[in-house]
Amino acid sequence: MRFFVVGSGRCGTTMLWRMLNLHPDLFVFRETHWHPKLFELHGLGTAPPAEMLDVVERTCFIEGQPTTAIDAELRAALLGLGPKVTVRQFSDALGQTLAAREGKTLWADKTPDYTNFLDTLQLIFDETKIVHLVRDGRAVARSMSHHPGYRWLASAGELSWVPASFNGYHSAIESREKIPLDTFARLWRQRIHRAREGATRLRADTYREFRYEDFVTHPETTLQALAAFVDVRPDALWIGQATQLVDSSRMNSAAGPHVPMGPEELALQQDLGYLQG
């Protein structure tokens, strides 16, 4: 395990995931959501791999499809790990197997909702690093307001999809039809604050914030900085291919309806450099 990419959601992590997966050495999960549940059940102890596999297969997106597809070959490999394994051993075997299928040697995970679980992730993988992608709260709030997953979070009063992703718990609460935009601005602020609070409990030099806007306006230098932070080689061909994925037309945070923000949201906007003091 090299690193986790986290964020408020609707902040550009999918674009970054596509960029990272172009790296010749690196396989990155699109989203998992099951690491915290595995740790909740098993901590740093051991359990039969079948029990951990069951958690993975019962963890789903809001549309109902599993976050991680397990085919027969992968299932056999995981069940063959031994009578009991740690969460780390199980996750490493799963990540390394999927990386090897693509001819790669390293794996990482892009799950924005892990903002609430940074210290848990580092308890499982003590050397892992955290890449926290941030974006202008106005653009995030507008995008969240159209996304079924974030509309569900706002309706349920939850900060993370992780608990709801297991066993289809999200189906117990229906998303409200009308949700004020300032609700999503508050959700953006709360998720960033939780990541920053969790980062205070991490090992030194293992957490860093990157701005989505920098990947759009200065993709080469920002990717180089990211590669140095997570210790992957700054392959020139990879950087060239990754920069072609940038869609600058999606960056304009001023476009769209006005997003009302309270004093805490405005303070965070200013702290992140999106408002002038």
pLDDT digits (tens, 9 = 90+) for 178-223: 999 999 999 999 999 999 999 999 999 999 999 999 999 999 999 9
For the chain, what is the domain count? 1
- SS3 sequence, 206-224? CEEEEEHHHHHHCHHHHHH
pLDDT of 173: 78
High-pLDDT (> 90) share of the chain, %: 90
In a domain, 276, yes or no: no
In a domain, 277, yes or no: no
Q: In terms of residue numbers, what domain contains 100?
A: 3-271
In a domain, 199, yes or no: yes
In a domain, 10, yes or no: yes
In a domain, 31, yes or no: yes
Residue numbers of the chain with a pLDDT score lower than 50: none
